[in-house]
Amino acid sequence: MLTDTRHAFDRSYAIHFFLGDVESEVSVNSLTKHKNHIGLVYAFGGSGFPCENCSNQKAKGVLSKGQVILTIPLIQQAKSQSNTLLNDLTPQKVNAYVRQHLSWKVVKVSLFFLGWIVMIKY
């Protein structure tokens, strides 16, 4: 379970999660296509325009919650012939593997012209 500050960036954002290496130069628009992408959490933190409700929530410290399910990606990596670091799914092995290989990228989501969505890396 992920808990984050909804209005941390004063606008909407997405947190992309990866299990494995992610090159730093990966294009923001291709994050969901990356071979190690396992999911994302989207937070509506405002539109970038004045919003009374958003201001009230920010003042109150409203949090967002989300989750990314790791079960299938972990099973796939455990079954992979090339992965020698995760050869069983015991809690000890999984915890160590996730601590070492889980990473994330936060991207700002801007709403433009009739619903087009453009993501910009923070």
Are residues 23 and 112 in contact, defined by beta-carbon separation less than 8 angstroms?
no
Which range scores top for mean pLDDT: 2-6, 46-50, 100-104, 117-121?
Answer: 100-104
Among 107, 117, 116, 122, CA closest to 40: 107
pLDDT at 9: 72
- Taking residue 6's Cβ as centre, other Cβ atoms within 10 Å add up to 21
pLDDT at 62: 82
Strand-strand pairing, 13-19 and 102-112: antiparallel
pLDDT in tens, 51-79: 788 788 888 888 888 899 999 999 988 88
Q: What is the pTM of this model?
A: 0.78
